[in-house]
Amino acid sequence: MPEQMPEQVIACIRTRLAEGESCRTIARAIGISKTTVAKVGRRLRAGGPVYSDHTVARKPRSLNTEQEEWVLNVLAHEPTLFAKELTRMVFDEFSIQVHRTTILRMLQRRGWMRTTCGRVASERNDLSVRDVDSTGQTRT
């Protein structure tokens, strides 16, 4: 995240804009971009804060903390599961449809590394996901 501009610079921009100087002239004098001067000037005229709070409205995460912990617990017992298998297990346990990339991003945020599982997958037995319960144990 970029650092905020010092208050002296904002005050300088405010003063020079009030004196009628162009954004280009101010930008050259201060050593910042013309776009930045224009943006600061626009925000000053609007009367709002010069800086936005850097929060972007976004869709909430698909999995809450408790559900993420559940996935990590399943992986602790069965570390060779694939993200696609985890999505099915999440659906079975919580009735939440998530994409495999949701699982992968969550694992990345939690410090898990994405590994190549080709050899492990070929060595595993052919149990279907339906044969594995939510804790990763084989159903009989």
Range(s) of the domain holding residue 15: 7-46
Which pLDDT score, from 0 to 100, does residue 133 have? 53
**Structural domain contains residue 29:** yes
Same domain, 116 and 69: yes
Q: Is the pLDDT of residue 125 over 90?
A: no
Buried b (16+ CB within 10 A) or exposed e, 41-65: beebeeeeebeeeeeeeeeeebbee
- Residue with the larger pLDDT of the pair 1 and 88: 88
Q: Is the pLDDT of residue 7 over 60?
A: yes
Which pLDDT score, from 0 to 100, does residue 136 have? 54
**Structural domain contains residue 2:** no
Overall domain count for the chain: 2
Q: Is the pLDDT of residue 129 over 60?
A: no
Same domain, 32 and 77: no
Same domain, 80 and 116: yes
DSSP code of residue 95? -
**In whole angstroms, what is the distance from residue 140 CA to residue 112 CA?**
31
Nearest to 7 by CA among 42, 52, 40: 40
Same domain, 70 and 33: no
- What's the pTM? 0.46
**In whole angstroms, what is the distance from residue 117 CA to residue 17 CA?**
60
Percentage of the residues of the chain whose pLDDT score is greater than 70: 74
Which pLDDT score, from 0 to 100, does residue 10 have? 87
Band of pLDDT at residue 97, cut at 50, 70 and 90: very high
**Structural domain contains residue 138:** no
CB 5, CB 50: distance < 8 Å: yes
**In whole angstroms, what is the distance from residue 85 CA to residue 132 CA?**
10
Q: Is the pLDDT of residue 89 over 90?
A: yes
